[in-house]
A and B are shown apart, each in its own frame.
Chain A
Amino acid sequence: NAGVTQTPKFRVLKTGQSMTLLCAQDMNHEYMYWYRQDPGMGLRLIHYSVGEGTTAKGEVPDGYNVSRLKKQNFLLGLESAAPSQTSVYFCASRLSGVGLGELFFGEGSRLTVL
């Protein structure tokens, strides 16, 4: 019953440090997403992937990199963290196809950059 698992769930970074958030799903979903959520801003799409080895930019990709080397994993990297990247990060996955919209979310990763 794992579904979508995000690690770590909490992290505090200093400005300039780097880190990677890992998202793992066990539902054999093709599509995976990284969103960030800030107060009053809803969920904003950072990057997404429509299959192993593919990635695409979302609404707010600057300052982030992603990789999808394995179908079940989608990594989000911050090369040089900035205070503006303090946020809650959600990973999600779904089946392929436009009409198949149900996104399955992880529980979120709360990142603070000092």
Chain B
Amino acid sequence: RKEVEQDPGPFNVPEGATVAFNCTYSNSASQSFFWYRQDCRKEPKLLMSVYSSGNEDGRFTAQLNRASQYISLLIRDSKLSDSATYLCVVNSYNQGGKLIFGQGTELSVKP
């Protein structure tokens, strides 16, 4: 089992829809969590960090569920420009600097 797993999708949604992605992790010592966005096999870029209390940035909301060991990303009012692959990243105190990515979830927003 991979340490970090995501539903690869693709998720095909119409503009304006709300879509949510989950990312599960197996290491209970995991402490830091992040969502990255990747366009067309270009380099990934940080979308947002995930804090224990949950956090929001405009149309994007990230949440952490430690009991069930998953993080989620909610996108409201989807735009065409949101079409991309979303990658979750997990870091654990007991693994030093090791950063493991999920396999990514592809989102396609249609007019």
Measured CB to CB, the residues of A under 8 A from B are: 30-31, 33, 35, 37, 40-45, 48-50, 56, 58-59, 88, 90, 94, 96, 98-99, 101-103, 105-108
A56 CB to closest chain B CB (Å) equals: 7
Give the distance in Å from the alpha carbon of A101 to the alpha carbon of B100 in the complex. Answer: 11
Given contacts A40-B103, A44-B101, A101-B91, contact A50 B41 (CB under 8 A): no
- Chain A residues with Cβ under 8 A from B93's Cβ? 98
Q: Contact between A45 and B99 (Cβ–Cβ < 8 Å)?
A: yes
Given contacts A48-B98, A58-B98, contact A42 B87 (CB under 8 A): yes
Measured CB to CB, the residues of B under 8 A from A are: 6, 8, 31-32, 34, 36, 41-46, 49, 87, 89, 91-93, 96-104
Given contacts A33-B99, A40-B8, A99-B31, 15 further A-B pairs with CB under 8 A are A31-B97, A35-B101, A40-B103, A41-B103, A42-B6, A48-B98, A56-B98, A96-B97, A98-B31, A98-B92, A101-B46, A101-B91, A103-B36, A106-B43, A108-B43
Contact of B34 among A30, A45, A101 (CB under 8 A): A101
Q: Contact between B49 and A101 (Cβ–Cβ < 8 Å)?
A: yes
- Chain A residues with Cβ under 8 A from B101's Cβ? 35, 42-45
Q: Contact between A101 and B87 (Cβ–Cβ < 8 Å)?
A: no
Give the distance in Å from the alpha carbon of A88 to the alpha carbon of B97 in the complex. Answer: 22
Q: List 25 A-B contacts (CB under 8 A).
A: A30-B97, A31-B97, A37-B41, A42-B6, A42-B101, A42-B103, A44-B101, A45-B98, A45-B99, A45-B100, A45-B101, A48-B99, A50-B96, A50-B97, A56-B96, A90-B43, A94-B99, A98-B31, A98-B93, A101-B34, A101-B99, A105-B43, A105-B44, A107-B42, A108-B42
Q: Contact between B98 and A43 (Cβ–Cβ < 8 Å)?
A: no
